[in-house]
Amino acid sequence: MIKEIKMPSAGQTTDQATICSVNVKKGDIVKRGDILVEAETDKATLPVESFANGTVIDIKVSEGDTVDAGTVLMVIGDAADAASYKAEAVAPEAAAPAAPAVKEEDEYQPIDKNAAPVKKAEPAVSAAAPNEVKAMPNAKQLAKQNNVDLAKVTSANGGLIKKSDVEEFMKNSSVKVSDDEDVYAVEPQSRMRKAIAARMLQSCNEIPSFQISINIDMTGAIKLKNEVLDAFGVKISYNDIMCKALAVTAKEFPLLNARYENNEIRVCNHTNIGIAVGLDNGLVVPVVKHVDQLSLKDIAAANKANIGKARDGQLLPSDMGCGSVSLSNLGMFDVDEFTAIVNPPESCIFAIGSIRTEPVFKEGVFVPCSKCNVTVSFDHRMIDGSYGAKLLKKFKAYMENPSLLLF
């Protein structure tokens, strides 16, 4: 039986995804669970797995295509299916008119004569039959963005011109070199890059934020970390402890659980905390949900899993965008302190610096003390200065005396 592999829904915010790689070709034998296609949404890379065993009969998408949820990506079946599928496919194609149909968007041109004309498709491509496309859509797009003449690009495998062929051509080509000193290259933006840009701009445009800095004595937290390692052999991070302290603080300061959505302050019943994970090509913020119901051990495990998934590009859209607080920790880069931008629609973001040994004046003498600077950006639409300050005082108390978290 012919099985159609469809694009799964990519999450609540978007039903659109861009195909970033097609891992199989026609005729390949695939097993259940094989990753056939990887699609990139504005939030994550989504692997599309095969739910069936069989042969790839038809591939309906190529790299760079934008697809909606439900779009048939691939057709899988056995040998008999392949024969019958062909028969099905040929009939409508033969009935279709021979003249290449003009695409709806190509049909329109600007009324304003001074406006840039709607670019016509490459003549060679438009003249060719739809099946004989010379270049991958993403290759065409990259070529267009960089004014690269695709006719000059040769395909490495002698077939379709791929994005990598265009990149290679651009690297080798000297067309860009000119006497003009202001030469620049346009960095292609991934969906993630665009999403980050849009979200951060939205934050700056919409959120009246203010910052409060606190200085936490980490002695207690360090002790806890070591004790857990000794007692259970589990390595927990300071982020995990902060998550736990935040969840407990939120019981008294519920606005920590708030999100500003549709002009409403929506206070969640649970504490959902995002951890910013830096990647080579961007940034993701996977969320651990219901932190208030998790033990420190569970929190540590969840964060670890999330970070792993984030680095492997395996996060699902549902793993993100559902928090009310984010933690951004740059301590490992020896950053003393910094401010972060609130991740909308969350109520605040914690910017955590490195743990430094500082002299503290105690009982008449300076003693060394492990200190950590935390700067919190609050959305002033939800949280005022005093509320924020009181909340942080509590948070600081829990961090400095982790045993209180048991209470």
Contact status: 102 vs another protein (CB under 8 A): yes
Q: How far is the CB of 205 from another protein (least distance, A)?
A: 22
Contact status: 182 vs another protein (CB under 8 A): no
Q: Which stretch binds another protein (CB under 8 A): 15-23, 28-36, 101-109, 201-209?
A: 101-109
Q: How many CA atoms lie within 13 A of 249 on its CB side?
A: 27
Q: Which stretch binds another protein (CB under 8 A): 111-119, 166-174, 298-306, 345-353?
A: 111-119
The gap from C-alpha 290 to its chain's centroid, in whole angstroms, comes to 21
How many Cβ atoms sit within 10 Å of the Cβ of residue 177?
A: 8
Q: How far is the CB of 151 from another protein (least distance, A)?
A: 16
Residues 43-82 as x/- pattern, contact with another protein by CB under 8 A: ----------------------------------------
Contact status: 111 vs another protein (CB under 8 A): yes
Q: Which stretch binds another protein (CB under 8 A): 17-25, 113-121, 154-162, 225-233?
A: 113-121
Task: Kindly tell me which residue out of 29, 80, 90, 118 binds another protein, with binding defined by CB under 8 A.
Answer: 118
Contact status: 101 vs another protein (CB under 8 A): no
Q: How far is the CB of 97 from another protein (least distance, A)?
A: 14
Helical pair 238-252 and 219-232, crossing angle rounded to 10 deg: 110
Which distant-in-sequence residues (6+ apart) come within 8 Å of 11 by Cβ? 41, 43, 44, 316, 317, 318, 321
Contact status: 116 vs another protein (CB under 8 A): no
Toward another protein, which CB reaches closer, 121 or 397? 121
d(CA 362, CA 367): 7
Taking phi over 0 as left and psi of -120 to 50 as alpha, with beta for the rest, 301 belongs to: alpha
Q: Do the strands 66-68 and 3-6 form a parallel or antiparallel pair, or are they unpaired?
A: unpaired
Count of residues that bind another protein according to CB under 8 A: 11
Contact status: 98 vs another protein (CB under 8 A): no
Cα-Cα end-to-end distance for the chain: 60
Each residue of 305-334: b (16+ CB within 10 Å) or e?
Answer: ebbebbeebebbbebbbbbbbbbbbbbeee
Toward another protein, which CB reaches closer, 111 or 231? 111
The gap from C-alpha 190 to its chain's centroid, in whole angstroms, comes to 10
Under DSSP, is residue 379 helix (H, G, I), strand (E, B) or coil? strand
Contact status: 109 vs another protein (CB under 8 A): yes
Contact status: 112 vs another protein (CB under 8 A): yes
Toward another protein, which CB reaches closer, 117 or 159? 117
CA Rg value for the chain? 27
Q: How far is the CB of 108 from another protein (least distance, A)?
A: 4
d(CA 313, CA 306): 10
- The structure tokens 């606005």 sit at 255
Toward another protein, which CB reaches closer, 115 or 185? 115
Q: Which stretch binds another protein (CB under 8 A): 100-108, 157-165, 169-177, 201-209?
A: 100-108
How many residues would you count in the chain? 407
Interface residues with another protein (CB under 8 A)?
102, 107-113, 115, 117-118
